[in-house]
Amino acid sequence: MGAVRMRVQTIMSLVIHVCHLNRKFTRLPHLAGSQQNLDLAKQIRDEWMEFGLDSVELVPYDVLLSYPNKTNPNYISIVDHLGTEIFNTSLAEPVPEGYEDVTDIVPPYSAFSAKGQPEDELVYVNYGRTEDFFKLERELGINCSGKIVIARYGKIFRGNKVKNAMLAGAKGIVLFSDPADYCADGVEPYPDGWNLPGGGAQRGNVLNLNGAGDPLTPGYPAKEYTYRSSLEDAVGLPKIPVHPIGYHDAVHLLHKVRMNIHTNNQVTRIYNVIGWIRGAVEPDRYVILGGHRDAWVFGGIDPVSGAAVVHENVRAAGKLMKKGWRPRRTLIFASWDAEEFGLLGSTEWAEDHARVLQERAVAYINADSAIEGMYTLRVDCTPSLHTLVYDITKKVSSPEEGEEGMTLYQSWHKRDNSTERDAPWISKLGSGSDFEAYFIRLGIASGRARYTKNRKTERYSSYPVYHSVYETYEIVERFYDPSFRRLEAVARVRGGLIFSLADSPVLPLDCVEYAMSLTKYANSIYQLALKHPAAMQQHSVSFDSLFFAVENFTVVARDFHQRLDQLDTSNALAVRMVNDQLMYLERAFTDPLGLPGRPFYRHIIFAPSSHNKYAGESFPGIYDALFDIENAVDWQKAWDEVKRQISIAAFTVNAAAETLKPVVS
């Protein structure tokens, strides 16, 4: 283990050039499906080969994308009683200085919006969350049916807002950026500060894919020969027009509006770049670092701050390879396409290679935006990676001024302690980035890390210029990370994870941490159910089986790690066997039957929230069965479903425990 630690540290101490990269990759827009994004793919392929990877390939898929009509722009208008348009929202954002000559900046739009020109009264639905619509309908008696609704961005994934609007019967939805959510206090709008200017607007897709990938080929890779469903049968497309606007336009919209939406869906070729380093000892074990390359416009933060981290880790690995190093396991580096259109590139590749990934993938580390704030580290990962994340951050220096000599762990710990233990806060994985198919569908241990804002004091949503034209190289260089030391710290964390996972003889996965998390989640879902004490009793709902299962898992996990301490590491087959148990643990939490109505969400412990794709929900089957149960039409049926989901969760935890037991009864 000593030698491995040294090797990992060697990698982590390599110079990382994120500053050069950010600039190079952000000069032009790199919209998925565009020539520029293909050119960038080729450039990355060529550079990765030069860095010294064993092989790099361009992997194409033909997926459904969505673009505005270039000759018939999208906008919202206020119409008078004669139907005359008396005010129109802007057709584009004011382009930032230095980018005036750039062509092919796609104007703000909601990708996959339905076409249409609905005209009606406008109903304000706050954030468009489930609870916002409940309040409107149940408390205020406001009916959205047949109306156009307007929701402010923030709090939840925009696709969920659109779904909620459709469920409420709305015939169109306008999304706007409210300064309350997209401007931080005391900060100027870009270019003088990093707040969103009034003319800026947030692009984004408004799909409800639930993990399906390409809407026309759910479950299968979108190859040339693949059967494609009709648009009517496509997964997750909104049936109503959707359009995003900035706050300068939003203040004008009152009463009756007309939406003018002409966006087109079209099957388009996209390209992933996949690079390989063959493992020296176990080439059939894969550790993956993947992040997307496509951007809505320049992608200064999203994704280039993350793509740069992948690039620098490839460069670092290449340098080591030239010195004779080769990891024990195979490393795969991925530059995904069309993440912005619904995680399409990463999901199609996962579908394409599901079998070998299920057999061979040890872990997936995600590399989307590396920075979304200036405060401290943010990590979302599977519980079995907690310990490794802590170990690695103890070997990285704090990037903050005035914290010289402190480790990243110490800085992070000081700034964001967990509410449950004396350690930095780590979250569950939700979705909204490319790890989804790997973690939620395939059950591969996954994690992500980035630099973030202070989640307790900074109340704006995401980061203000998110998905606007103002996401430039300069906003990172001037405001977010002038020294590029934060990006470097994130690069070292992501790199440390993949190199440790690829190089450690025994996989650095901690099953006891998984047991602790399961205990926490079981308690938490039980507390939620306890809000209905009468119904619990009437329907004989018991969580005993789940608590027994979690206790069983806990005992088995502890025993497993005790046996691991006695392992003869000179016995290659013995090491392989325990590593297989460690690798397949995450897989064991998946169920081929999937969650109710969401067949591609197969993880029984974690899923994206049904009400907000960005957030992770634990024991999602039970959670969804309990949701709003007091208003269920058939209580008997609803509580039966709760019982069924408890039974499935208990069985899954027991089944996962079995994989860690001695392999012979």
Tell which positions 218-247 bind a second copy, by CB under 8 A: 219-221, 223, 225-227, 229
Minimum distance from CB of 10 to a second copy (Å)? Answer: 23
User: Of 3, 82, 140, 573, which one interacts with a second copy (CB under 8 A)?
Assistant: 573
**Residue 214 is a catalytic residue:** no
Mapped onto helix, strand or coil, the DSSP state of residue 136 is helix
User: Of 540, 592, 633, 634, which one interacts with a second copy (CB under 8 A)?
Assistant: 592
**Residue 580 is a catalytic residue:** yes
**How many whole angstroms separate alpha carbon 465 and alpha carbon 574?**
52
Instruction: Enter the tokens of residue 291.
Output: 């992040």
Q: Which of 50, 542, 628, 630 is catalytic?
A: 542
531 part of the interface to a second copy, by CB under 8 A: no
Tell which positions 347-386 bind a second copy, by CB under 8 A: 352-356, 359-360
Minimum distance from CB of 594 to a second copy (Å)? Answer: 8
Tell which positions 295-334 bind a second copy, by CB under 8 A: 330
Q: Which of 458, 580, 640, 658 is catalytic?
A: 580
User: Of 29, 200, 211, 279, which one interacts with a second copy (CB under 8 A)?
Assistant: 279
Count of residues interacting with a second copy (CB under 8 A):
60
Stretch that binds a second copy, among 276-284, 340-348, 396-404, 449-457 (CB under 8 A): 276-284
509 part of the interface to a second copy, by CB under 8 A: no
Mapped onto helix, strand or coil, the DSSP state of residue 391 is helix
Neighbours of 120 (CB within 10 A): 18
Minimum distance from CB of 356 to a second copy (Å)? Answer: 6
Q: Which of 47, 294, 312, 339 is catalytic?
A: 339
Q: Closer to a second copy at the Cβ: 227 or 537?
A: 227
**How many whole angstroms separate alpha carbon 362 and alpha carbon 346?**
17
545 part of the interface to a second copy, by CB under 8 A: yes
**How many whole angstroms separate alpha carbon 114 and alpha carbon 121?**
19
Minimum distance from CB of 627 to a second copy (Å)? Answer: 18
User: Of 276, 547, 627, 635, which one interacts with a second copy (CB under 8 A)?
Assistant: 276
Buried b / exposed e across 498-526, counting CB within 10 Å, b at 16+?
A: bbbbbbbbebbbbbbbbbbbbeebbeebb
User: Are 325 and 502 spatial neighbours (Cβ–Cβ below 8 Å)?
Assistant: no
Stretch that binds a second copy, among 73-81, 131-139, 416-424, 655-663 (CB under 8 A): 655-663
| Nearest residue to 501 (alpha-carbon basis) of 8, 42, 106, 63 | 8
Within 90-247, strands assigned E span 110-111, 119-120, 122-124, 148-152, 172-176, 204-205, 242-245
Return the ∠ at Cα 165 (arms to 160 and 168), rounded to 5°.
Answer: 125
**How many whole angstroms separate alpha carbon 123 and alpha carbon 274?**
46
Minimum distance from CB of 359 to a second copy (Å)? Answer: 5
643 part of the interface to a second copy, by CB under 8 A: yes
Minimum distance from CB of 644 to a second copy (Å)? Answer: 4
478 part of the interface to a second copy, by CB under 8 A: no
Q: Which positions ≥6 away from 147 have C-beta within 8 Å? A: 120, 121, 122, 123, 170, 171
User: Of 100, 139, 185, 544, which one interacts with a second copy (CB under 8 A)?
Assistant: 544
User: Are 433 and 302 spatial neighbours (Cβ–Cβ below 8 Å)?
Assistant: no
526 part of the interface to a second copy, by CB under 8 A: no
| Residue whose structure tokens are 């939805």 | 173
Question: In this structure, what are the phi and psi dihedrals at residue 64, rounded to the nearest 5 degrees?
Answer: -80, 120
Give yes or no for a cis peptide into 303 (omega within 30° of 0). Answer: yes
Give yes or no for a cis peptide into 191 (omega within 30° of 0). Answer: yes
Distance of CA 149 to the CA centre of its chain: 27
Neighbours of 452 (CB within 10 A): 21
| Nearest residue to 260 (alpha-carbon basis) of 418, 119, 387 | 119
Q: Closer to a second copy at the Cβ: 281 or 512?
A: 281
User: Of 71, 527, 566, 665, which one interacts with a second copy (CB under 8 A)?
Assistant: 665
Minimum distance from CB of 317 to a second copy (Å)? Answer: 15
User: Of 13, 43, 55, 264, which one interacts with a second copy (CB under 8 A)?
Assistant: 55
Instruction: Enter the tokens of residue 564.
Output: 């691991």
User: Of 27, 49, 54, 455, which one interacts with a second copy (CB under 8 A)?
Assistant: 54
Minimum distance from CB of 543 to a second copy (Å)? Answer: 11
User: Of 85, 458, 559, 580, which one interacts with a second copy (CB under 8 A)?
Assistant: 580
563 part of the interface to a second copy, by CB under 8 A: no
**How many whole angstroms separate alpha carbon 300 and alpha carbon 477?**
10
Minimum distance from CB of 647 to a second copy (Å)? Answer: 4
Q: Which residues pair with 626 in a beta bridge?
A: none
Within 299-370, strands assigned E span 329-336, 361-366
Q: Closer to a second copy at the Cβ: 140 or 573?
A: 573
449 part of the interface to a second copy, by CB under 8 A: no
| Nearest residue to 266 (alpha-carbon basis) of 112, 130, 385, 407 | 112
Mapped onto helix, strand or coil, the DSSP state of residue 528 is helix
**Residue 177 is a catalytic residue:** no
Tell which positions 401-440 bind a second copy, by CB under 8 A: none
Q: Which positions ≥6 away from 255 have C-beta within 8 Å? A: 78, 121, 122
Q: x/- binding map, residues 600-639, to a second copy, per CB under 8 A?
A: --x-------------------------------------
Distance of CA 292 to the CA centre of its chain: 11
Stretch that binds a second copy, among 42-50, 278-286, 380-388, 626-634 (CB under 8 A): 278-286
**Residue 542 is a catalytic residue:** yes
Minimum distance from CB of 544 to a second copy (Å)? Answer: 8
| Nearest residue to 470 (alpha-carbon basis) of 105, 25, 46, 68 | 105
**How many whole angstroms separate alpha carbon 202 and alpha carbon 59?**
29
User: Of 282, 339, 436, 513, which one interacts with a second copy (CB under 8 A)?
Assistant: 282
What's 482's DSSP letter? Answer: T
Q: Which of 30, 292, 386, 603 is catalytic?
A: 603
User: Are 272 and 434 spatial neighbours (Cβ–Cβ below 8 Å)?
Assistant: no
577 part of the interface to a second copy, by CB under 8 A: yes
Q: Closer to a second copy at the Cβ: 123 or 660?
A: 660
Catalytic residues: 339, 542, 580, 603
Report the interface residues with a second copy, using CB under 8 A: 54-55, 57, 219-221, 223, 225-227, 229, 274, 276, 278-279, 281-284, 330, 352-356, 359-360, 544-545, 548, 572-573, 576-577, 580-581, 584, 587-588, 591-594, 599, 602, 640, 643-644, 646-648, 650-651, 655-656, 658-659, 663-665
